[in-house]
Structure 1
Amino acid sequence: MIDKIWQWVGDYCSGLLDKEEGRELRAWMDEAEENKQLFMEGVKMVREYQMVAGSDRNVSDSLKCVREKIRARRRRKLWIQVAAVASVMVLFALSFVFFYTPKSEEMSPVLAKVHAGGTKATLIVADGIQVDLTQDNLQEVIGQYGATVVKDREKENELRYDCVEISEEIEEKPVFHTISSPVGGEYHFTLADGTMVWLNSSSQLTFPTRFTGATREVIVEGEVYFEVEHDENKPFIVRVDDVSVRVLGTKFCISAYPENEGIMTTLVQGAVQVTSRDNRVVLKPGYQAVVDQYSGAIKQRAVELSLYTSWVQGVFEYENMKLNDIMVQLARWYDVQFTFSAPEYKERRFTGVVRKYEDLNDVLDMIEKTTNVKFIINGRNVTITSVIR
């Protein structure tokens, strides 16, 4: 059976899983919850493996490496249970095919590619002037606003606000800026206190160019990930409408899209206090607070962090998620419109990890394999229908 799983995951991740294999895979996953969990575990581990493994090996070397590691695991089977061995085999099979894309252009018609989003953002300064943060001469333009441009590891412009001593007169009159990322955009920058900020698509942050007074306060719309610089004498406060999140130094994500079930604060590290009207909770790492925007009520729950923060690492991770919710996220990132040909297709569920910088065509092809739906791309409009048997 292990050999069969090897074949399934290989064909699935390389885009070679045909309809018959897809039906067989779905049937196997439906036989037992353990089968589904095994598949989900393997897919999750791919993301972790991705962070430490290179993708420049050729096919034969990669396959040799996979087999050697599996044989090593088998030699230690006195303490490794069968299920663990199966999981390892799935992991390395996935890692092999995950980083290898076969040259299949000549095998199928070439469709127009819908490319992923990328670094796009606009700075809106106090007098209303808008600055494109992707322009080539950004440093010449941005210096007058108290910021510096540096090159990140991908050789793209990153904005960093200067941390300098300022006079009492300026402290009484803070200058506010807003950085906004559009649909199909994202942006990473650093505030004057050293706090790092990641804006997701269709999001924005309003903040002072210098933090003055007793607190550091910013305003969020959309989805933003923070790594807050610790300062026990000056709490960092994020405001979203009537909700405030108070921290000293920590890593967390706030998602306040209109289509969300509520304003979600997901804590990765440290501690945060979420306040809404007269309600208040203190989160621990691995927990999420969801604020009802109408009643102000707050519910707290344990979550799988990567499902809510993986976008910062360059992937989208899904666990038994409805297609309707997945398409909302993909629509923002790829700047496309999804239409379901029948309401019941919205309820189909998908588990997997996709790289967010892949073309949309490749992402949808992966989702098709285990959800029994078909995506028809026409320009920037995508129709979701059922597979015809």
Structure 2
Amino acid sequence: MPYDPSRITYLLQRYTSKTCTREELEELFTCIAEAGSDETLHRFMEDAYHEIRPGEELPEIDYEAVYSGIVGQTPSTSGTGDNAAGYDPAPDRSPRRLFPFRYAAAAAVLLILAGLLFFWPKNQHPTVIQPPQLAANDVAPGGNKAVLTLADGSTVTLDSLGNQVITRGNTSITQQHGQLVYGDQGTDAAMQYHKLSTPRGGQFKLTLPDGTRVWLNSASSLRYPTAFTGKQRVVELEGQGYFEVAENASQPFKVMVNTMEVRVLGTHFDIMAYKDEATVNTTLVKGSVQVKEGQALQLLKPGQQALMHHQNHAITVQEADVNKIIAWKNGLFVFNNMTLTAILREVARWYDVEIVYNTTPGTELYGGGISRNLNLSAVMELLEGAGHNHFIIEGRKIIVTP
């Protein structure tokens, strides 16, 4: 084994308590990077977690998605980035790395562990390590928060600490910290519609009555029936959501985004449909989906992305960096040759801030990954160190300067 477990334990403790030096952080990155993404490392990380949380199971983590979403990326110009938004960058652009790619896997492990430690429910473990206090002019990261609108128009505020059962008629909904779970209401249940909405700076997970799991990103909403009783299962999305659809060949699943529809039987896919983006992007991870807008129709294969252009409603298909696209649901920003303006749109939604440009943004491309659990100042420091622009945080504004 290329690392000393006792030394990593010490370094992890220093890291999670925010007391490690730069040299210790480099050493920790090196140790984990040398270990790679093998099962030995996973077992060690799980053992370290169990020492901190005795008797608890480690929450499910898609290690392979996290690793492959950061490690081994090669320069590419196929991403939508700002080209989709009408931004015409200069042709000569060299990628800027937020941290060396050889440390990226190690960083991913640290980000996962830090997220688990910092955001585990406080009411269960009062000794959980807490993030440092915000400095002046800093902004905390987003978190699990949403508003559930019920069929009668009443609303329920949800957050990461809540644990309750919501009952309306025959409909029973369980809130378990950062997720909402609907039980199977049966085929005789009356169809009513609920709407789950996340604010800027919020995210939430939802399990629908058929067992379909949905992750909602910030500034998004999903409208859905409390029981799927017809010939098909239809939901309506605004913003961004990742879907793992329960298979049911006799009752196809359909996601409506305004007039565009994504039709599936059982599959995993992501839809990004923010109004400030130039396209609605449907990215297929597993299975198959059919994307339809008017007379335009495209069938996707895993690893492909359909772009529906707002301007002319045309649909184009391209190969996609799947792990980069779904990194948000694993608690990461992952950038693969993205421009600053494209990155800042994501940052603005997650931290609920406004971007003000006092200069023309640089045309450099960024690559690497950043935890979505960091305070805003830490994210901007990484971006500033990798590019040509500077950033000033004033209240809930990021001012971009030369």
TM-score, normalised to structure 1's length? 0.69
> Are residues 1:149 and 2:166 paired?
no
Instruction: Identify which of 112, 127, 147 aligns with 1:122.
Output: 147
- Determine the structure 2 residue equivalent to 1:255: 272
> Are residues 1:381 and 2:402 paired?
no
Alignment of 1:1-389 (within 5 A): 52=42, 54=45, 93-95=103-105, 99=110, 111-134=136-159, 139-142=164-167, 144=169, 146-151=171-176, 156-167=177-188, 170-171=189-190, 174-343=191-360, 345=361, 347-386=363-402
Mark the CA change 1:199 to 1:94 in structure 2 (over 3 Å): closer, same or farther.
closer
Mark the CA change 1:275 to 1:354 in structure 2 (over 3 Å): closer, same or farther.
same
Mark the CA change 1:279 to 1:114 in structure 2 (over 3 Å): closer, same or farther.
same
1:121 counterpart SS class: strand
Mark the CA change 1:255 to 1:15 in structure 2 (over 3 Å): closer, same or farther.
farther
Cα displacement (A) at 1:118: 0.3
- AA in 2 matched with 1:383: I
8 Å Cα contact 1:115/1:359 also seen in 2: yes
Aligned mates of 1:303, 1:342 — CA distance in 2: 31
Question: Moved runs in structure 1, 4+ residues, more than 6 A?
Answer: 14-17, 44-51
**What's the CA shift string for 1:282-333, capped at 9, x where partnerless?**
0000000011234221100001112211101110100121111111110110
1:327 counterpart SS class: helix
Cα displacement (A) at 1:129: 0.8
Structure whose CA Rg is larger:
1
1:311 counterpart SS class: helix
8 Å Cα contact 2:216/2:241 also seen in 1: yes
Aligned mates of 2:36, 2:226 — CA distance in 1: 36
Q: How many residues align?
A: 299
Aligned mates of 2:35, 2:326 — CA distance in 1: 16
- AA in 1 matched with 2:227: R
Mark the CA change 1:137 to 1:271 in structure 2 (over 3 Å): closer, same or farther.
closer
8 Å Cα contact 1:15/1:366 also seen in 2: no
8 Å Cα contact 2:162/2:175 also seen in 1: no
- AA in 2 matched with 1:116: P
Which one is further off, 121-130 or 141-150? 141-150
8 Å Cα contact 2:201/2:350 also seen in 1: yes
8 Å Cα contact 2:139/2:377 also seen in 1: yes
Mark the CA change 1:210 to 1:317 in structure 2 (over 3 Å): closer, same or farther.
same
Mark the CA change 1:93 to 1:165 in structure 2 (over 3 Å): closer, same or farther.
closer
1:246 counterpart SS class: strand
TM-score, normalised to structure 2's length? 0.67
Unaligned runs of 5+ in 1: 1-13, 18-43, 58-89, 102-108
More helix by share: 1
Identity level (%): 33
8 Å Cα contact 1:49/1:95 also seen in 2: no
Aligned mates of 2:307, 2:355 — CA distance in 1: 27
1:133 counterpart SS class: strand
Aligned mates of 2:161, 2:367 — CA distance in 1: 40
Unaligned runs of 5+ in 2: 1-19, 24-32, 49-99, 115-133
With CA pairs under 8 Å and 6+ residues apart, which has the higher RCO, 1 or 2?
Answer: 2
8 Å Cα contact 1:46/1:91 also seen in 2: no
**What's the CA shift string for 1:322-371, capped at 9, x where partnerless?**
1111111101100111212212x153332110011111111111111120
- AA in 2 matched with 1:301: Q
Mark the CA change 1:140 to 1:93 in structure 2 (over 3 Å): closer, same or farther.
closer
- AA in 2 matched with 1:352: G
Aligned mates of 1:55, 1:136 — CA distance in 2: 24
8 Å Cα contact 2:187/2:229 also seen in 1: no
Mark the CA change 1:186 to 1:325 in structure 2 (over 3 Å): closer, same or farther.
same
- Determine the structure 1 residue equivalent to 2:120: none
Cα displacement (A) at 1:49: 8.4
Aligned mates of 1:354, 1:49 — CA distance in 2: 22
